[in-house]
Amino acid sequence: MKNITKIYRSGPVDCPALNDVSITIHRGEMLGIVGSSGSGKSTLMNILGFLDQCTRGEYWFAGSDVTDLREQELSVIRNRRIGFIFQSFCLLPRLSVLQNVMLPLLYRGMAVCDSADKGMAMLERFGIHSFFRRKPGQLSGGQQQRVAIARALVNDPDLILADEPTGALDSRTGQDVMTLLTALSQDHHCTVVIVTHDPKVSAQCSRVVRLSDGSLVK
């Protein structure tokens, strides 16, 4: 993945959250982004994940310019090429574990029974298939995060974006999750980008960049 970015973002009163940030993320890399809060980590993450668009600059994703895509195309990219993992898991509480994992497949337009099969296979891979019927609220934090990872991976994305994936977990389950992510990047050549301020987490990344006041610090 070639990724040359130059980002400048202005808030409602034109306060720059990111200032001329350029970064290249390679395929299969496990990149850690660290920085104090307010340094623009999340903004960078949102732009990387096509949730937001930069005010100025270019974003090249997998060899093509994706800076000026329309809303519809952004949704498609988010659906097929990006997997999100959030600090607070972000599972839908009304749906069952399996339905949560199936959701990206359904939005992709896959038939219900096919996506159920695939979702089950994914849950099995992470060893949580036994409670596919339960609601996320009935699971422990570590289990929920594994469901979230299963959901992120179900569409075979090119890029996995993890925003403080261990932030809401205790150190042991956090370590489990980290082991999972490391395995993903090494065995499946997935690109993983982790935003964190936990030094133990960033230590496991193959490369770490630091953001400060919207700029990269080498």
Partner 1 sequence: MKMSMVIQEGIINLLLSPLRSLLALLGILVGTASVVAMLSGGKLAEHEALKQFESLGTDLLAVSLRQRSDSESQAVSEAPLNAALFPVSVLKKNGIRLMAPYVQLFHEMQYDSQEIRGTVLGVTGEFFQAAHIESARGRLISDMDAFNLYCVLGNSVYETVRKNSLEDPLGRQLQIGKNIFTIVGTAKSWPQNSFVFTNINDAVMIPAQTSMLLSRNISDSNIIVRLSSSARADAVEEVLRRFLSVQFPGRDLVFQSPKELIARMTRQTEIFTVFLGLIGGISLCVGGIGVMNIMLVSITERKREIGIRRAVGATRPDIRCLFLAEAVMISLFGGVLGVLLGVFISWLTAVFWHWSFAFFLFPPLIGFSVSAATGIFFGIYPAWRASLLDPIEALRAV
Give me the residues that bind partner 1 (CB under 8 A), please.
46, 49, 51-52, 71-72, 75-76, 78-80, 84, 86, 90-92, 94, 103-104, 106-109, 111-112, 151, 155
- The CA distance from 48 to 53, in Å, is 9
* Sheet bearing 215-217, strands edge to edge: 82-85, 159-163, 191-195, 30-34, 207-212, 215-217
The nearest distance, CB 52 to partner 1, in angstroms, is 6
Give the list of residues 6+ apart from residue 100 with CB closer than 8 angstroms, or none.
91, 92, 136, 147, 151
Q: Which is nearer to partner 1, 4 or 92 (CB)?
A: 92
Q: What is the dihedral of CA 134, 76, 118, 29, to 10 degrees?
A: -100
CB of 56 to partner 1, least distance (A): 18
Which is nearer to partner 1, 60 or 107 (by Cβ)?
A: 107
Report the nearest approach of partner 1 to the CB of residue 196 (Å).
18
Q: Which is nearer to partner 1, 41 or 78 (CB)?
A: 78
Strands 7-10 and 191-195: unpaired
Nearest CB to partner 1, comparing residues 67 and 79: 79
